């Protein structure tokens, strides 16, 4: 099983057509998760979404792939507003199905800059 310290994530590279398709397929779930994070911020004062006022776009900027026995884990850096990014993880099965997995969040942060590196994350 992969972890943040021990994984087979490949190099981060510019968005490809295939990676764009993967993250397009999970767009609804990603946007729903962003709205949930916004709600949780307001209710619990978490401040994870303080840097994002609105979702004005959804454009894959970079991605990386980890091959696993049941398909591929895709890690994507998606621009959602002017120079504001989220880090998203999706899974593509061997049969082509794609599932949303998670967004990369840390205490007080779920929105990243262009300079923040896309790294392996589990949740």
Which of 68-82, 86-100, 102-116 is predicted with the least confidence, judged by mean pLDDT? 102-116
How many other β-carbons are positioned within 10 Å of the β-carbon of residue 48?
20
Q: Answer yes or no: is 88 within a domain.
A: yes
* Alpha-carbon dihedral 53, 55, 60, 66, rounded to 10 degrees: 70
CA nearest neighbour of 103 among 121, 79, 82: 121
Q: Answer yes or no: is 115 within a domain.
A: no
CA nearest neighbour of 120 among 82, 81, 80, 68: 68
State how many domains the chain has. Answer: 1
CA distance 26 to 15: 16
Tens of pLDDT, residues 23-43: 999 999 999 999 898 888 777
Q: Answer yes or no: is 4 within a domain.
A: no
Q: Answer yes or no: is 26 within a domain.
A: yes
Q: Answer yes or no: is 66 within a domain.
A: yes
Q: Answer yes or no: is 8 within a domain.
A: no
The overall average pLDDT reported for the chain is 91
Single pTM value for the model = 0.90
In this prediction, residue 43 carries a pLDDT of: 73
Q: Answer yes or no: is 114 within a domain.
A: no
Three-state DSSP state, 60: strand
- Which two structure tokens, joined as six digits, stand for 21? 């398709």
Is the predicted pLDDT of residue 44 greater than 90, yes or no? no
């Amino acid at each position: 099983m992969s972890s943040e310290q021990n994984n087979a994530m490949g190099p981060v590279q510019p968005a490809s057509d295939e990676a764009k398709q993967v993250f397009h397929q999970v767009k609804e779930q990603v946007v729903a998760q962003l709205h949930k994070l916004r709600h949780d911020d307001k209710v619990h004062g978490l401040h994870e979404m303080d840097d994002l006022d609105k979702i004005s776009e959804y454009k894959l900027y970079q991605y990386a792939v980890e091959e696993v026995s049941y398909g591929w884990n895709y890690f994507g850096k998606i621009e959602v507003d002017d120079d504001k990014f989220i880090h998203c993880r999706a899974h593509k099965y061997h049969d082509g199905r794609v599932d949303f997995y998670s967004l990369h969040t840390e205490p007080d942060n779920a929105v990243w800059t262009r300079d923040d590196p896309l790294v392996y994350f589990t949740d």
